[in-house]
Amino acid sequence: MPLTDDEIERYARHIVLPEVGGPGQNRLKASSVLVIGAGGLGAPMLLYLAAAGVGRIGIVDHDTVSLSNLQRQVIHTTERVGLAKTASAARQIAAINPQVVVEQHQTRITPENALSLMAGYDIVADGCDNFPTRFMVSDAAFFARKVLVSAAVGQFDGQISTFKPFEKAPDGTPYPTYRCFVGELPPRGSFPACEEAGVMGALPGIVGSLQAMEVIKELLGIGEGLAGRILMYDALWARFFETKLAWNPENPLTGKSPSIKSLDPANYRD
């Protein structure tokens, strides 16, 4: 479907990019992204994906907006405290780009619903804030054969990678999974939660914006993605670091002798 005059004006700065052009903008318009979490990482992701013209965006979040969210979750506002985060985010997206279709999933993502939630979208972006969910979303994306852009933040640092373990790396081995990076699910209490440790408000804005960029690159098929690489950011020292991530043949999901063959809830209990 050709772009309308309004769309040509709205996306003019994209369209003049040789890597995007009209065909690329149409590709974004026809694409869909499922965003897990409308919090610190999800907020900038949702804003930039909507502004970029991604045609359909699903938001998964069970929570409501609280006053303590507003220091970093910039998609929400003071007047929306108490409102479901999915509804608050949808309202802001409509204000930025009313042409985007927003699908609200006001629920937790669980082993029971993850595959059905992912089924209707081209790509998954995970902005959740705990290890059990992060492991489960990664496993579900593998079973659903969906590219996953995953990120996490701490007090002053963040990390991001793209996982597509159903595809092969240039050396012929599968691309790694999140389990190749972290290994086993850390015991509860190993890493303090955000409300205990704190987080600098601008940090998830930076990392979430990087997530939006990587999602857009994957949708357009441009540049070099982060599959097989982890990008880390240290905000206190204003430094980026990168390390390679290889497939682990011992990992229980995609290794040589996989033991995880379904989304068994027992695999995601800390």
Domain limits, the chain: 30-268
- Give the pLDDT score at 31: 98
**Rounded-to-5 percentages of helix, strand, coil across the chain:** 35, 20, 45
**What is the side-by-side strand order in the sheet with 147-153?**
101-105, 56-60, 32-36, 123-126, 147-153, 157-163, 229-234, 239-244
Residues pairing with 59 in the sheet:
35, 104
**71: number of Cβ within 10 Å:** 13
**The domain 30-268: what is its CATH number?**
3.40.50.720
CB 174 within 8 A of CB 258: no
Q: Is 82 left (phi over 0), alpha (psi -120 to 50) or beta?
A: left
- Give the pLDDT score at 182: 85
Distance CA 233, CA 241 (A): 6
Q: Is the pLDDT at 190 greater than 70, yes or no?
A: no
Which pairing describes strands 101-105 and 157-163: parallel, antiparallel, or unpaired?
A: unpaired
Higher pLDDT: 269 or 198? It is 198
Q: Is 222 left (phi over 0), alpha (psi -120 to 50) or beta?
A: beta
- Give the pLDDT score at 250: 93
- Give the pLDDT score at 137: 96
- Give the pLDDT score at 197: 77
Distance CA 226, CA 181 (A): 13
Q: Any idea how long the chain is? A: 270
Percent of the chain residues past pLDDT 90, beyond the cut = 86
Distance CA 105, CA 103 (A): 7
In this predicted structure, which of 78-82, 178-182, 234-238 has the lowest mean pLDDT? 178-182
Q: What are phi and psi of 243, to 5 degrees?
A: -135, 150
Distance CA 76, CA 264 (A): 34
**137: number of Cβ within 10 Å:** 29
> Average pLDDT of the chain?
93
